[in-house]
Amino acid sequence: MAWRLSGSPKNATQNALPDTGGHMLPDAFFDRDACQVARELIGMVLRRRHQGLWLSARIIETEAYYLHDKGSHASLGYTHKRRALFMDGGTIYMYYARGGDSLNISAGGPGNAVLIKSGHPWVDAVSGEDALARMQALNPDAQGHTRPPQRLCAGQTLLCRSLGLKVPDWDGEHFDPSTFFVEDIGARPARLVRAVRLGIPEGRDAHLPYRFVDPAYAPFCTRNPLRRGQVAGRDYDWVTRNGRPCKGQVTGT
């Protein structure tokens, strides 16, 4: 998919959209079942324009939430702050999680959504080493030191900080191809790790297996579901992108 240049030739370079060869996901992609969207977002790339640079992160971990799921914000009822959850699929819902910005996207049906739990910096022709350096500058560690790339987006608030995403700017908005969108680059892992979501209290549907992780990037997500001591069938299982249980090696991109 080629992107047009916006503006006059004088500022064409400044306002150019990325010629990625991929595809920006339309709202219709998100206007489906939340678990389906959560699975299919794995491998997609977030593209965020920040002060003239395109910053990029591959989505490696997601969580799905539903209106009648006690672990969801929507289950607490409609408020103006939660309005994006009840809007059309593809609406951005951002909130503060432990003081940091957090990115969610509404899915099909009122109150249903997907949390972008973690990512991994994506360096390509659109986002080069200068973009990675910008992401590291946006998200230093607690001592002010540069984070290693593999830990830069390893959590929902770290991801947003690395991409310069803020609640006041994006809550209730839709993706914009000139500033922020999700791109299908054709990198789709054929099998995913499925596990329970993180941080859900007991009695709030903590048992629901609505968390999905790209196994190739499992060491770099919020918490590695394949770490030592975790047992398949007890702590996690394997599913295909369409949600079917699978065993053994499944080939794919």
Residue 247's pLDDT band, with cuts at 50, 70 and 90, is confident
The model's pLDDT over 82-105, given as tens digits with 9 standing for 90+, comes to 999 999 999 999 999 988 999 999
Where does 88-178 have alpha helices with state H? 129-138, 149-152, 156-163, 167-170
List of residues 6+ apart from 229 with CB closer than 8 A:
none
Phi, psi of 99 (to 5 degrees): 85, -5
Residue 20's pLDDT band, with cuts at 50, 70 and 90, is low
Domain assignments of the chain as residue spans, ordered by start: 23-195+206-240
- Return the CA Rg of the chain: 18
For residue 19, the model assigns a pLDDT of 59
Q: In 13-83, at which residue ranges do the beta strands (DSSP E only) sit?
A: 23-24, 45-50, 53-65
Say how far apart CA 151 and CA 120 lie, in whole Å. 8
Question: Would the pLDDT of 172 be above 70?
Answer: yes
Nearest to 164 by CA among 137, 128, 142: 137
Nearest to 127 by CA among 52, 189, 61: 52
Tell whether pTM > 0.85.
Answer: yes
Say how far apart CA 151 and CA 154 lie, in whole Å. 5
Question: Would the pLDDT of 8 be above 90?
Answer: no
- DSSP-derived letter for residue 154 is S
Nearest to 156 by CA among 146, 145, 167: 167
The model's pLDDT over 33-70, given as tens digits with 9 standing for 90+, comes to 999 999 999 999 999 999 999 999 999 999 999 999 99
What tokens does 3 get?
A: 């992107």
Q: No. of H helices and E strands in the chain?
A: 7, 10
Nearest to 131 by CA among 246, 18, 15, 25: 18
In three state form, how does the secondary structure of 221-253 look? CCCCCCCCCCCECCCEEEEECCCCECCCCCCCC
For residue 212, the model assigns a pLDDT of 99
Q: Which residue has the tokens 């080069």?
A: 128
Q: 23-195+206-240 belongs to which CATH class? A: alpha beta
99 close to 85: Cβ distance less than 8 angstroms: no
Question: Would the pLDDT of 10 be above 70?
Answer: no
**DSSP 3-state of 38:** helix
